[in-house]
């Protein structure tokens, strides 16, 4: 992949940027996310997570069996505050 190829399209993270984090000693998906912002955009990692995993294995940074995805954050898809506000009322709103 050319170095300007985007790994994460939501947050504009390129192959070159991921390679810089590898050179700096970051070695797993969770910490690369925290440095580059990869996976924190609207797709929440659905597009970029596997691309990053593949890249780390291809670069010899981590063995496939040691790969762990970053924590999945609810909701699965973006949901409006309006829809959530109509959810079951569990706490009184003062």
Partner 1 sequence: MTAAMGRPDVPLPEAVDVAVVGGGVMGLALAYHLALLSGTGTKGKPGALSIAVLERSYLVSGASGRNGGGVRMQWGDAGNVRLMMESIELCKDLAQQLGINLWFRQGGYLFLARSEAGERRLQRNAELHAEVGAPTRLLTPAEAQAIVPQLDVAEVRLATFNPEDGVVFPWAFVWGYAARAVERGVLLRTHTAVERIEPTDPGFVLRLSTGEVLRARRVVNATGAWSGQLNRPLGIDLPNRPHRHEILSSEPLKPFLDPLVVDLSTGLYFSQSTRGELVTGISLPDAPDGSDEALTLHSSLRFLTHLSRTLVRLMPITAAMKVLRQWVGPYDVSPDGDAIVGPSPGHPDLIQICGFTGHGFMMAPAAARLVARWLFDGTDHPMLARWSPGRFAGGAIARREDMIIG
What is the contact mask toward partner 1 in residues 5 to 24, using x (rule: CB under 8 A)? Answer: ---------------xx-xx
> Quick one: 7 or 26, whose CB is closer to partner 1?
26
* Sign for the pseudo-dihedral over CA of 53, 54, 55, 58: positive
Question: Which of residues 6, 8, 40, 58 is near partner 1 by CB under 8 A?
Answer: 40
CA gap 22, 61 in Å, rounded: 8
Give the Cα separation of 11 and 39 in Å (integer). 7
Please report whether residue 93 would count as binding partner 1 according to CB under 8 A: yes
Handedness of CA 46, 48, 54, 56 (dihedral sign): negative
Give 7 or 36: the residue with its C-beta nearer to partner 1: 36
Query: Nearest CA to 18 among 10, 8, 69, 40?
Result: 8
**Which residues in this chain contact partner 1 in the complex, by CB under 8 A?**
20-21, 23-28, 30-31, 34-35, 37, 40-42, 44, 71, 73-75, 78-82, 84-85, 87-91, 93-94
């Amino acid at each position: 992949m050319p170095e300007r190829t985007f790994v994460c399209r939501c947050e504009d993270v390129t192959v070159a940027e991921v390679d810089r984090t590898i050179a700096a000693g970051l070695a797993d998906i969770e910490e690369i996310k925290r440095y580059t912002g990869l996976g924190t955009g609207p797709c929440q990692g659905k597009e970029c997570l596997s691309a990053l995993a593949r890249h780390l294995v291809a670069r010899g940074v981590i063995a496939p069996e040691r790969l762990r995805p970053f924590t999945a954050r609810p909701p699965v898809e973006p949901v409006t505050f309006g829809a959530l506000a109509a959810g079951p009322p569990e706490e009184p709103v003062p």
